[in-house]
């Protein structure tokens, strides 16, 4: 019998795992900036290769090869992991390009609106029904994007690419469900991307700058070598957290990352925030507030309905 203390401890542990994951994701821009002069194409290539190496080590240590073998024998799962790999590659590449080219604030916008994108995918792909307040939040977020495009005069392709790629990635991970564990999933996703990574490294090697690995001192080489760990650890922490806490709490915790990225871009890196851009972000934050309040109220109503009667 599971006690309330055990349940509470499990939820606390899950929340700590999730918070750790989002804190690490929030710090990724700083880590990538430390890797200068490594460019975005080389960096993502190493990220793919070293993620696979790290996952192979984890599979060996945790004796997870049997679970991976079971997945490999299911062609549909293999196809879904390949699609997930392509989507997470797009997400990684766009994020790194944005970060290394002075668009950290715009990357934060992508992750601010990601929960709303997830809801839209649920409506149009999974045919889920959503509440009126959620439609209001979606409408406000759409207006925010229009304001940024029309008034600020810049199409937020980085933000929209990030939210679209990660939103569909999450949808595929939901479809795969418990059939693919976190380590096996990341192993296969990285494996499918190896040809792309190899081509990118070959192309980078032909440029005047060339491959930077090992060419900029020991400290730079060590930092770049940890790209796989920096990629895999937050994903594994996230997976551990989501198994222990409900999506309502995950939905609130996930705003840690874009808040950190926004503050990093504005306060630390000094990226421009003209009035039109503030207007767009303010509308996004209003949409998020509507979304979170509705989520909390729905969760509270659900707990009241599910609470067993005392006897």
* Bond into 220 cis (ω within 30): no
pLDDT at 310: 41
DSSP letter at 264 equals: I
pLDDT in tens, 111-151: 888 878 877 887 888 777 778 888 888 888 889 888 888 87
**Are the C-beta atoms of residues 250 and 18 closer than 8 Å to each other?**
yes
- The first and second tokens of residue 23, run together, are 């804190």
pLDDT at 126: 74
Rounded CA-CA distance 95/267 in Å is 19
Query: Locate tokens 């899950």: which residue?
Result: 14
3-state helix, strand, coil in the chain (%, to 5): 80, 0, 20
pLDDT, greater one: 66 or 253: 66
pTM of the complete model = 0.87
pLDDT at 247: 60
Binned at pLDDT 50, 70 and 90, residue 309 comes out as very low
Q: What percent of the chain has pLDDT over 90?
A: 50
Rounded CA-CA distance 232/236 in Å is 6
Residue 259: pLDDT over 80: yes
**Are the C-beta atoms of residues 286 and 140 closer than 8 Å to each other?**
yes
Q: How many CB atoms lie within 10 A of CB 20?
A: 17
pLDDT in tens, 194-241: 999 999 999 999 999 899 998 999 999 999 999 989 988 998 888 778
Rounded CA-CA distance 284/137 in Å is 9
**Are the C-beta atoms of residues 204 and 210 closer than 8 Å to each other?**
yes
**Residue 138 CB partners (closer than 8 Å, separation 6+):** 116, 119, 120, 287
- The first and second tokens of residue 232, run together, are 């895999």
């Amino acid at each position: 019998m599971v006690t309330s203390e055990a349940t509470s401890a499990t939820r606390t542990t899950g929340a700590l795992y999730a918070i750790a994951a989002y804190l690490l994701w929030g710090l990724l821009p700083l880590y990538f900036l430390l890797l200068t002069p490594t460019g975005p194409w080389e960096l993502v290539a190493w990220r793919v290769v070293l993620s696979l190496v790290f996952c192979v080590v984890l599979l060996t240590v945790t004796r997870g090869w049997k679970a991976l073998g079971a997945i490999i024998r299911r062609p549909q799962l293999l196809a879904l992991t390949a699609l997930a790999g392509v989507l997470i590659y797009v997400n990684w590449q766009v994020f790194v390009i944005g970060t290394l080219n002075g668009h950290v604030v715009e990357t934060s916008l992508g992750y601010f609106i990601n929960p709303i994108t997830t809801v839209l995918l649920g409506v149009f792909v999974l045919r889920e029904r959503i509440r009126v307040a959620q439609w209001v939040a979606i409408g406000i977020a759409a207006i925010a994007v229009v304001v940024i495009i029309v008034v600020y005069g810049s199409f937020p392709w980085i933000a929209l690419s990030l939210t679209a790629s990660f939103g569909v990635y999450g949808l595929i991970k939901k479809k795969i469900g418990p059939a693919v564990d976190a380590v096996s999933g990341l192993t296969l996703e990285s494996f499918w991307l190896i040809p792309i990574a190899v081509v990118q490294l070959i192309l980078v090697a032909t440029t005047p700058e060339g491959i930077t690995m090992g060419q900029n001192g020991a400290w730079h080489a060590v930092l770049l070598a940890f790209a796989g760990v920096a990629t895999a650890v937050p994903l594994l922490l996230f997976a551990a957290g989501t198994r222990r806490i409900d999506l309502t709490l995950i939905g609130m915790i996930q705003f840690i990352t874009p808040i950190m990225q926004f503050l990093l871009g504005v306060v630390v890196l000094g990226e421009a925030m003209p009035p039109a851009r503030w207007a767009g972000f303010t509308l996004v934050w209003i949409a998020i507030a509507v979304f979170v309040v509705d989520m909390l109220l729905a969760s509270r109503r659900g707990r009241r309905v599910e609470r067993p009667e005392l006897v």
